[in-house]
A and B are shown apart, each in its own frame.
Chain A
Amino acid sequence: MLNRRDILQKCAALGTVLIASQASSEAMLAAFQDHEKQIRKPTPRNPLGPFYKRLAPVNDILRAPGDPGIPLTLSGQVFDTRGDIVTDATIEIWQTNHQGYYDVDGYRYRGKRQVDKSGAYTFESVIPGHYPDKSRVCQHIHYLVQAPGHKAFVTQLYFATDPVFEGDPVKNYARDPLIHTPELIRPVMLTGDPNEVHAKVRWELCLERL
C-alpha cells in the first residue's frame, strides 16, 4: 500500500509534479488514484499445456487453403489494466487441428504476431478438435501474450459452441477441470450458409504492468 509520501514521490518521478504543484496535495492524490484505478481486469490465466513449441514463426494465417474443419477468424485488441491500448504486444497462439492433434514435428497451427498500432490482432485458423482420448478437455486455443513493461501471461480460449457446455457455458464451464471462469469461454459468431460456415471469435486481452 502506498502512503502519501510514496505517492508524491511517484508523481514526481512520473513528471506530473510540475502540473500538480499548483494543486493541493489532496487533488494530486485523487488524480494519481484515478490514473492508477483498474479500469480493466487482467485476462484470467490458464495453464500452458504440454505442447508449447518455442520459435513459432511470425504468421497469422494458420489455415492453409483446403484445410478441413470450420474456418475461424480470431480477433481482438490488447489493453492494460488502465484501459490504455498496448501497441507493442506480441501474441502467440497454438492449437490442435480439427481432429484434436497438435503438430509437434512442425509448426502447423502455431504462429505469432505483433498487434498493430491500435493494439488489434487477427489470426486465421480453424476451430480445433477435442483431444482424441475423450478426456474432459474442451476445444481450446493457447495464448501467450507478452509486451515490454508488462507481465507476460499464458491463457486459453474456449468456445461457447463446444458441445460439452450443452449451450450453457456459464452453468457448465466447470465440466472441464481447467476452466475456472466462464470468462475464458468466448461467444462464437457463425456466418455463411450451412455448407460453408465460418466462425468468428473476438477476445480483448488485458495485460498487467510490471
Chain B
Amino acid sequence: MRPSLAILFLLHCLAVAGPAQTARQEKTIDLPAGVSVELGTISHGGNVVAAICSDRAVRVWSVHSGELLRTIEGGKEPVAVQFSNNERLLAVAYEIVVNEKGVVKIFDIDSWKAQHDFADEAPVYGLAFSADGRHLAGAGFFDSYVWDLPARKKAATLSPPFGGSASVAFSTDGAWVATADGDTYVRVYDASTGALHSSIQGTLLEPMTVAFSPDGKTLLAGGVDKTIRVIEAASGKISRTIPKQPGLVSSLDISPDGKHAIVVYRSAERFNDVNHLALWDLEKGTILADFQKPGITIAGNGTFVGDHYLFAVASANQLTLWFLP
C-alpha cells in the first residue's frame, strides 16, 4: 500500500473506532490581559460559572450571556470554589499553607456579601455543598470538615488515620458524607455527627474522587489505579469495578438518572495535564462520548443540563464553555 493510501486507511479506521459523539464549543469568555483560569466550577443549574484566576481573583460569569457578574478579590490565594445546588451561595477556600489555619468564605451571590467565614480550621482544597445547602464539607491534607451553615459552626471533623482526603461528597439526602482518602480507603460518615459508617478498601492506590448517585444508593470512586469502583452506599460493599480507564480518575459527575457518569482524567505521566473527559454508560461499562484536547485544562466540575454535559475549559487567556451531547 502506498503511504498516502495507508494514511487514509488509518484515518478511516480511527474515525470508525472513535466515539460517535464529540463536544461542541458553546461560548468563549475573554479574560483580562495576562490572566488565565486555574480552576473553575459550573453551578448545578448551569446558569453561572466561577473561576479562580491567575491574578488571585475569583470571577463569576453568566453562562448564558458570558457577562462578568462579579470579581471577588482578596489578599489570600483562592484554592477551591463551589456553588450551592440552588445557585444562591458560592464557597471559596483560600490558600493552603500547611500546618496553618485555612479560610473558607461563603458568599451570597445576590449581595456578594460573605455570609460565613470559617477561619479556625486547617486548610481545605475540595468543597461540596449538601443538596439542601445547609452543610458544606471541605477535604483537607490532614483532616476534612463538615460545617453546619445555619448554626454557623463546625459539625464534624473527619480524620483518617493518615493522609487526609482528596475529595468529599454528600449523599443527595445530606445524611452521609463520603471521602476519598490518601490511605487508599473510601470512607462514609454520618454528615451531622462525623461518626464513621464504613471504610471501603478496594485498591492499592488512592482514590481521588467520590460521587453519590442521585438516589443515594450507589457511590462511585475513582483514582490513581485507573478504575471506577461502584460501591453500595448502605453496606460499603464494592459491587462492581469498571477497569481500563484511560487516565487517573480525577473527578466524577453522575447524570440525574444515575445511568451515566462524566469522568475527568489526569495524565499519569504529566500530573498537571487535565485535558480529557469521557461520558460512560455505567451499566454497560462503555464510553459513549469522549473529549480530549492537548494544551487546554478542563477547569473543574461541570454539570448535566438536560441530556447534555456542560463543562468549562481553560486555555491561555480564555475560558470556553463546552457541551458534550
Contacts and interface: CB of A to CB of B under 8 A. Distances in A.
B323 to A, nearest CB: 29
Contacts of A181: 99
B204 interface: yes
B273 A45 contact: no
Could you say which interface size class chain B belongs to? 20 to 34
Contacts of B273: 133
A4 interface: no
A148 B204 CA distance: 23
14 contacts: A44-B98, A47-B141, A48-B141, A48-B163, A52-B163, A52-B183, A52-B205, A53-B204, A54-B183, A54-B204, A146-B162, A152-B161, A180-B97, A180-B100
B204 A135 contact: no
Task: Name, among A50, A152, A154, the residue most crowded by chain B CB atoms within 10 Å (CB to CB).
Answer: A50
A177 B184 CA distance: 24
B166 A154 contact: no
Interface in B152-200: 161-164, 166, 182-184
Contacts of B272: 133, 135
Contacts of A87: none
B99 to A, nearest CB: 6
Given A51-B224, A53-B204, A132 B270 contact: yes
B125 to A, nearest CB: 10
Given A48-B182, A178-B98, A55 B204 contact: yes
Contacts of A131: 271
B7 interface: no
Interface of B: 96-100, 141-142, 161-164, 166, 182-184, 203-206, 208, 224-225, 248, 268-273
A50 B247 CA distance: 14
Contacts of B268: 104
A133 B161 CA distance: 30
A50 B270 contact: no
A144 to B, nearest CB: 6
Nearest to A101: B269
Given A45-B142, A135-B272, A152-B162, A51 B205 contact: yes
A175 to B, nearest CB: 14
A161 interface: no
B2 to A, nearest CB: 38
Contacts of A46: 98
Contacts of B248: 50
State the 5 A-B residue pairs at the shortest beta-carbon distance, nearest first: A48-B182, A48-B163, A180-B98, A133-B270, A47-B141
A79 interface: no
A104 B224 contact: yes
B269 A50 contact: no
A205 to B, nearest CB: 14
A44 B206 contact: no
Given A47-B98, A133-B271, A154 B205 contact: no
B98 A45 contact: yes
B141 A180 contact: no
Contacts of B208: 50
Contacts of B164: 47-48
Interface in A120-153: 131-133, 135, 144, 146, 152-153
Contacts of B141: 47-48
A154 B98 CA distance: 12
A54 B96 contact: no
A111 B100 CA distance: 30
A153 B224 contact: no
Nearest to A135: B272
A114 B224 CA distance: 27
Contacts of A180: 97-100
A190 to B, nearest CB: 29
B224 A177 contact: no
Interface in A50-106: 50-55, 101, 104
A53 B98 contact: no
A48 B225 CA distance: 16
Contacts of B166: 50
Contact of A44 (B99, B162, B183, B270): B99
A52 B204 CA distance: 8
A206 B141 CA distance: 20
Contacts of B161: 152
A47 B206 CA distance: 13
Given A50-B224, A52-B183, A104 B205 contact: yes
B238 to A, nearest CB: 15
B77 to A, nearest CB: 9
Contacts of A135: 271-272
B82 to A, nearest CB: 20
Nearest to B77: A177
Interface in A166-209: 177-178, 180-181
A174 to B, nearest CB: 9
